[in-house]
Amino acid sequence: MSSIKSVDPLLKVENLTTRFDISNGFFSGISGRVHAVENISFNIDESETLSLVGESGCGKSTTGRSILRLVPITKGKIYFKDKEISNLGSVEMRNYRKNIQMIFQDPFSSLNPRMSVGNAIAEPMKVHGLHEGKELQEKVYNLLVDVGLSPKHSKRYPHEFSGGQRQRIAIARSIILNPKFMILDEPTSALDRSIQIQVIDVLKRLQDKYKLTYLFTSHDLKVIRSMCD
């Protein structure tokens, strides 16, 4: 029997609209509304990189947060592997969140300054009650090598690293649960050009090795050109 490859996109976004109500204070009710994302649609195939490019404030982060359901969607539908995500039950939602990870511009926001790098990378595994002990340590060491660092860095703390190295650590942490899809929200915008190129190389290598699908946002067309399909 021959195997049939799925031709459906991994992620399908249809007419996504996300608006935020603004209130001036606890008693004053709603005083305005920000139209952060208005009626956008796109598909992303497996192992593909799709970029959202636009100036600051145009709604790139809100699009990523809407896909992860970190903010409530006003209108539209999001399908992951053909399943509409607003219909997911709690177990399916947990699985969905395991499959989709987000990397932010500032890696400090996702790294606890009091946690060693090794523990920070291993933490998602522990939260999900997955591997422990030697096996987990081995996995952390391999991921450090994958992102161009070394196992000996696992004992150090985030403040001992440069911005580019901290972003590599955040990337290692985000792929430990074997996600399928990554939202890379301006992941290189806080870095110098030469460091940007190195981090992009790491992201491309990981995409190949782990068959990752990326939604990549940036305000910088040079970065977009070097990253995208």
- Report the interface residues with ligand ADP, using CB under 6 A: 20, 34, 36, 54, 56-62
Cα–Cα distances in angstroms (integers) from residue 60 to residues 54, 88, 228, in the given order: 7, 24, 16
Helix axes 163-175, 117-127, angle to 10 degrees: 20
Which helix (DSSP H) or strand (DSSP E) does residue 101 occupy?
strand 100-103
Shortest approach of ligand ADP to residue 164 CB, angstroms? Answer: 21
Residue with token string 């195939």: 45
β-sheet with 181-185: strand ranges across? 49-53, 213-218, 181-185, 100-103
Shortest approach of ligand ADP to residue 159 CB, angstroms? Answer: 26
Q: DSSP letter for 82, please.
A: T
Shortest approach of ligand ADP to residue 22 CB, angstroms? Answer: 6
Shortest approach of ligand ADP to residue 111 CB, angstroms? Answer: 21
Backbone φ and ψ for 35, nearest 5 degrees, come out as: -90, 85
Shortest approach of ligand ADP to residue 62 CB, angstroms? Answer: 3
Q: Give the span between the Cα atoms of 72 and 65, in whole angstroms.
A: 9
Q: DSSP letter for 154, please.
A: G
> CA gyration radius for the chain?
19
Nearer to ligand ADP, 22 or 127 (CB): 22
Nearer to ligand ADP, 64 or 179 (CB): 64
Nearer to ligand ADP, 2 or 56 (CB): 56
Shortest approach of ligand ADP to residue 24 CB, angstroms? Answer: 13
The one-letter amino acid code at 18 reads T
Nearer to ligand ADP, 63 or 154 (CB): 63
Nearer to ligand ADP, 15 or 20 (CB): 20
Looking at the DSSP assignment, which residues form a beta bridge with residue 184? 103, 216
Nearer to ligand ADP, 24 or 57 (CB): 57
